């Protein structure tokens, strides 16, 4: 007998396309909050399918994406950005009228470009980006609390059904996220500086350390101070995902990288010429920015946020 006081699920049948860190965390969160009556996923033949079944975080697992989305009123793309077009081309015709398609990608203009052409007219598209993650990957790395007190940005194209946007907002807010809505191009510019550039720098620093002479390289690893260790943690992030991020947000990343390079050259000059006041002024200004991040509860160690690598 059904409980008359039980709140109905937000979605009847939800499908995750991809069940890595973000997908499996979403699956756990959706289950924990009763947001879908049935939860299924599509997983490629890389071991994730068997792991998802073993973990029991979804009700059904499909190798065929078209079979996975059939009858679903929510489909969430949780694969590397470069895989979106081929996947949606496969499952697009199987989507039911009125279904909502969303995603979790770190670049939004490319997602709109790659996904929109393959969606039937009666399907709603609400791109999204949860700014959350860890340096780990795979379904076993996920946890339901990953999105709590983190931002999720939605970038619905002009003309998107407001009711569909509201449902996706409700999903993210229910699992603990703060939700904001912005234009896709603006999102990509913001994330180029707050996320993509730091990852690029981290990968570069680790690459530089790897190019050192063997003895020096071993000492760098052995004596890594907290600055090197903590900053380069994000260089352990999924290489496929980040390759796709940089290739699909190249204009914004190259623009902010050029500005960073100019600032770095000015800093190099100040160090060379012993301009202590210039260095002190810069460090004082950036210290205030860091304090603002902590006050906004967006820094690891604030007691609120987990790692952010997206």
pLDDT digits (tens, 9 = 90+) for 131-163: 998 778 888 888 999 999 999 999 999 999 999
Give the domains, in start order, of the chain with CATH numbers: 11-182 (3.40.50.720), 187-295 (1.10.3660.10)
Q: Going by DSSP bridges, is the β-strand pair 60-62/74-77 parallel, antiparallel, or unpaired?
A: unpaired
37 phi/psi in degrees, rounded to 5: -65, -40
Q: Is the pLDDT of residue 3 over 70?
A: no
pLDDT tens, 10-32? Answer: 999 999 999 999 999 999 999 99
Which positions ≥6 away from 39 have C-beta within 8 Å? 13, 14, 15, 16, 27, 30, 31, 57, 58, 59
Per-residue model confidence (pLDDT) at position 292: 72
pLDDT tens, 118-132? Answer: 999 999 999 999 999
pLDDT tens, 199-255? Answer: 898 888 888 777 776 767 677 777 766 667 776 777 777 888 889 999 999 999 999
Q: Are 169 and 179 in contact (CB under 8 A)?
A: yes
Share of the chain above pLDDT 90, in %: 64
Dihedral sign (CA 159, 164, 170, 176): negative
67 phi/psi in degrees, rounded to 5: -65, -35
Per-residue model confidence (pLDDT) at position 294: 65
Q: Are 164 and 100 in contact (CB under 8 A)?
A: yes
What's the CA gap between 304 and 294, in Å, rounded? Answer: 10
pLDDT tens, 70-97? Answer: 999 999 999 999 999 999 999 999 999 9
Q: Is the pLDDT of residue 39 over 60?
A: yes
The b-or-e profile of 221-254 (16+ CB within 10 A means b, else e) is eeeeeeeeeeebbbbebbeebbebbbebbeebbe
Q: What is the pTM of this model?
A: 0.84
Cα-based distances in Å from 254 to 198, 241, 246: 13, 18, 9
State the chain's mean pLDDT as an integer: 87
Per-residue model confidence (pLDDT) at position 226: 63
């Amino acid at each position: 007998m059904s409980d008359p006081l039980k709140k109905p699920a937000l979605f009847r049948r939800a499908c995750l396309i991809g069940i890595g860190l973000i997908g499996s965390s979403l699956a756990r969160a959706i289950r924990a909050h009763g947001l879908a009556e049935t939860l299924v996923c599509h997983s490629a033949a890389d071991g994730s399918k068997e792991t998802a079944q073993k973990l029991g975080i979804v009700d059904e697992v499909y190798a065929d994406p078209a079979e996975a989305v059939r009858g679903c009123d929510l489909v969430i793309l949780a694969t590397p950005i470069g895989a979106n077009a081929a996947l949606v081309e496969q499952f697009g015709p199987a989507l039911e009228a009125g279904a909502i398609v969303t995603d979790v990608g770190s670049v939004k203009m490319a997602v709109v470009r790659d996904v929109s052409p393959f969606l039937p007219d009666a399907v709603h598209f609400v791109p999204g980006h949860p700014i959350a993650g860890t340096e780990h990957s795979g379904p076993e790395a996920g946890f339901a609390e990953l999105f709590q007190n983190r931002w999720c940005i939605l970038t619905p194209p002009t003309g998107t059904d407001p009711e569909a946007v509201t449902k996706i907002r409700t999903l993210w807010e229910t699992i603990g996220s703060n939700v904001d809505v912005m234009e896709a191009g603006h999102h990509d510019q913001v994330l180029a500086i707050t996320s993509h550039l730091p990852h690029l720098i981290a990968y570069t620093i680790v690459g530089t350390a790897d190019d050192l002479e063997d003895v020096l390289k071993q000492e760098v690893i052995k004596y890594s101070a907290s600055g090197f260790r903590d900053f380069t943690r994000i260089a352990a992030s999924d290489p496929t995902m980040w390759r796709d991020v940089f290739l699909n947000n190249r204009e914004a990343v190259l623009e902010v990288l050029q500005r960073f390079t100019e600032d770095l050259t000015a800093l190099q000059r100040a160090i060379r010429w012993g301009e202590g006041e210039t260095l002190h002024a810069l460090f004082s200004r950036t210290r205030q920015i860091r304090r603002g991040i902590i006050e906004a509860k967006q820094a690891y160690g604030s007691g609120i946020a987990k790692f952010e690598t997206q």
